[in-house]
Structure 1
Amino acid sequence: MTEKTIITQALHYLSPDLVSEISASAIIKEIPKDNEILREGQYVKVIPIVLEGLIKVFTRHKDKELLLYYIRPKESCIMSFSASLKNEPSKVFAITEEDTTALLLPVDKVSDWINQFPDINTLFFQQYNLRYSELLDTIHHVLFDKMDQRLLDYLKEKVRVTNNNPLKLSHRQIADELGTAREVISRTMKKLETENLVKQLANGIEIL
């Protein structure tokens, strides 16, 4: 399958002329798992659209991190899009959750396409609506849910987006993504296991 065919299938809702422009200017890149593709404070040069795989987007404050959302196939990073249009440094950082194939749109071209091809806004308006909802959910969990519910919801979401159960996760990694301490996760995980909601294995965690 040619790159143009892959791009056409992924962006079938855009006009043929715009898809042709994207095919001529964008590149498809294979990115290994656990690869940082965007750093906080970095100026955005390309906007990714995930074709295969999964990317997670974080925010960081002092020594704490918090998982904001995942970028799944056929989705993009609205925070990168926003920062690029304003020519501002990124307020988030992004890491591949698994081996990922991404279509990388050059920022200078995207600015031109917005003026020439209004239908490109279809992609980014969809992403704004999706991320707004997800960020509200994240805020709700942080402010109102107890840690056991936050942890269980986090694990269920991880199973859903990765299609893996058991999950190969350490307590340290979970703590980093939920913005808490490893000891808190270990204590809460034991509580969930006692309630027969999860099972801790030698190399991972199974959701029951």
Structure 2
Amino acid sequence: MVSEIKDKYGYIFEDALIEEINKIATIKEVVESEKLIEIGDYIKSMPLVISGAIKIMREDSEGDELLLYFLEGGDTCAMTLACCMGQKKSEIRAVAETDATLIMIPVQKMEEWMAKYSSWRSFVLESYQNRLNEMLEAIDTIAFLKMDQRLLKYLRDKAMVTRDDVISTTHQEIAYDLHTSRVVVSRLLKALENDGKISLNRNSIKINDL
């Protein structure tokens, strides 16, 4: 596990912390669309992403989902950190966007490492800031962008995290993530295709304008 940790986090964590992670953490492999965290769960461990991509979702009172942000290799989830530190139930849903490899840190180590390792403390604080910025961007997107602009940004973001300009998804799945209807998504996708920004195929979309 040491090589995986050093590859993604070696420039942040000191050697002593890497060795301790190697001793107490476990590796978790997840497949695309697998749920890692469900709303209402108590979180017993914090994930460090080694490879793949995870999407973080919120849910409204009617059960509709909204995409907050993606996690990639080298990331962790600020919402998970907050729940771990406060011993609260999860307010987010984490779903594997692609097959992914995670290192799971027991929650008991969170506060201990905050005091023991300056690199861990800096990593946690920077993760909070990065995820806050991404959530603010999500709010700005909803508040200020038209739905066609939101849709194109969403497609580009998915292409970036999956590192593939062909996205395997359905119109209904996109509608869930963007908190809108499938009919609206289908109409806007066709308009984007007519503009040459994307190419539509059965259950996949190619992004021509990254």
TM bin (shorter chain): over 0.9
Distance 1:197 1:180 in 2: 21
| Contact kept in structure 2, 1:56 and 1:97, CA below 8 Å | yes
State the secondary structure of the residue aligned to 1:67.
Answer: strand
Q: Secondary structure at the match of 1:180?
A: coil
Equivalent residue number for residue 9 of structure 1? 7
Question: Could you report, residue by residue, the CA deviation over 1:34-88 in whole angstroms, capped at 9, with x for unpaired residues?
Answer: 1100001111111001101111100010231111011100110110001110111
Give the C-alpha shift of residue 119 in structure 1.
Answer: 2.3
Q: CA deviation at 1:141?
A: 0.9
Residues 166 and 204, structure 2, Cα contact 8 Å, conserved in 1: yes
8 Å Cα contact 2:24-2:106 kept in structure 1: yes
> 1:157 maps to which residue?
157
TM-score (norm 2): 0.93
> Which residue is equivalent to 1:77?
77
In 2, Cα distance between equivalents of 1:130 and 1:167: 25
Q: Deviations over 1:173-194 (max 9, x none)?
A: 1001111111111111122122
Q: Provide the secondary structure at the position in 1 that maps to 2:176.
A: helix
Contact 1:64-1:180 within 8 A present in 2 as well = no
Match of 2:48 in 1: 49
How many residue pairs get aligned? The number is 206
1:49-128 aligned within 5 A: 49-61=48-60, 62-128=62-128
Q: 2: distance between equivalents of 1:11 and 1:191?
A: 42
TM-fit CA distance, 1:22: 1.2
5+ unaligned residues in a row in structure 2: which ranges?
Answer: none
Q: What 5-or-longer segments of structure 1 have no aligned partner?
A: none
Scaled by the length of structure 1, the TM-score of the pair is 0.94
Q: How far apart are residue 10 of structure 1 and its match?
A: 2.8
**Partner residue of 1:32?**
31
2 CA distance for matches of 1:185 and 1:143?
18
* AA at the equivalent of 2:39: E
3-state DSSP of counterpart to 1:167: strand
Percent of aligned pairs sharing the same letter: 32
1:197 partner amino acid = K
Q: Is the 8 A contact 1:8 1:19 kept in 2?
A: yes
**Residue 136 of structure 1 pairs with residue 127 of structure 2:** no
| Aligned counterparts of 1:141 and 1:64: Cα–Cα separation in 2 | 18
Equivalent position amino acid for 2:105 in 1: L
Runs of 4+ in structure 1 deviating by more than 6 angstroms, as ranges, are: none
Two-structure CA RMSD over aligned residues (Å): 1.2
Q: CA deviation at 1:8?
A: 3.1
Deviating more after overlay: 85-94 vs 12-21: 12-21
